[in-house]
Amino acid sequence: MLGAAALSLAVALRAPLTVTVLGLLLFGVLHNVLEIRYVAGRFAAVLTGRFLALLLALTSGIALCRLTAQWWPAPARLAEVAIGYLILAAGCWIGLRGGWRLVGCAILAVAGYASFSYPAYHFVVLTHLHNLVPLIFLWDWASRIPQPRARLAFRLPQLLWIIGLPLIILVGGLDRWISATPGAAARFVGDGSRLIAAAAPPDAAATIGVRFLVVFALLQTT
C-alpha cells in the first residue's frame, strides 16, 4: 500500500491536473459504488425501515439541489448544506447513545454555524473530507485483525499516506517537485484554473491552490 501511495504521489506531484481528470473518469463511479457497497454490507442491520427511507429522501434532496444549482445557486447550496447536516444528525441519533448524542449534536451545531457562515469553504472541506472516507473504512476493517501489533502495522501506513503526506504537501514540503502544467488534461480543463479553484479555499494564492489540487489528486487516486 505504501508502494501504491508512493507511485500516486509521484504522478500527482508532476501532473496533478491530469491525474485528477483521468482519475475521476477512470475511478469516480467505481469509487462511489465500492463505498456504497461497503456501507450497505457493514451497516445492513441499521440501514432498514424508516431510517433507510429517511436517508434516501435526504440524499435525493441533495441530488435535487445539485440539479437546481444552475438556476438558483445560492439557495441550492444553502439547502444542500442544511440537508447534509440533517443526514449527520440522523446518523448521530441512530448511532450514538446517552451523552454521546449531546456531544455529537454540539459538534454538529458548531460545524453547522461555520458552514452557513462560510458556505464556499464548506464545499471545499467536503471535497477533501470525502477522500478521507477510505481511512475510516480501513480503520474499521483493521479492528478485525486479532493481533494488536499486526493491527497497528496495518493502520500506521494508512495514517501516513492519508494524513501525513497531505500535510507535508500543504505546508510546502514538496513544492520543488510540483508541476501545475495542464498536460494531457488541457483538452478537458483548459489551463486548469477552475479545477484548482474548486479544490482550494476561496481567494487562496495560486501556490496554495496547486497544493490542494495535488492533495486531491493523490487521495482520490490512491
- Tell whether 189 is covered by a domain: yes
- Per residue in 28-78, pLDDT (tens digit) is 778 778 888 888 888 888 888 888 899 899 999 999 999 998 898 889 999
Instruction: Tell me the residue range of the domain where 205 lies.
Output: 2-53+119-221
- Start-to-end CA distance of the chain, whole Å, equals 9
The answer to the question of residue 98 being in a domain is: no
In a domain, residue 93? The reply is no
**46 is a domain residue:** yes
Cα dihedral sign for 185, 209, 81, 132?
positive
Structural domain contains residue 171: yes
Q: Give the chain's domain count.
A: 1
The answer to whether position 204 is within a domain reads yes
Q: Is residue 65 part of a domain?
A: no
Q: Identify whether 69 is part of a domain.
A: no
- Summarised one tens digit per residue, pLDDT across range 145-194 is 989 899 998 888 888 888 989 999 999 888 888 887 766 666 666 656 66
Q: What is the pLDDT of residues 91-146, one digit of tens each?
A: 888 888 888 888 998 999 999 999 999 888 888 888 888 888 888 888 888 988 98
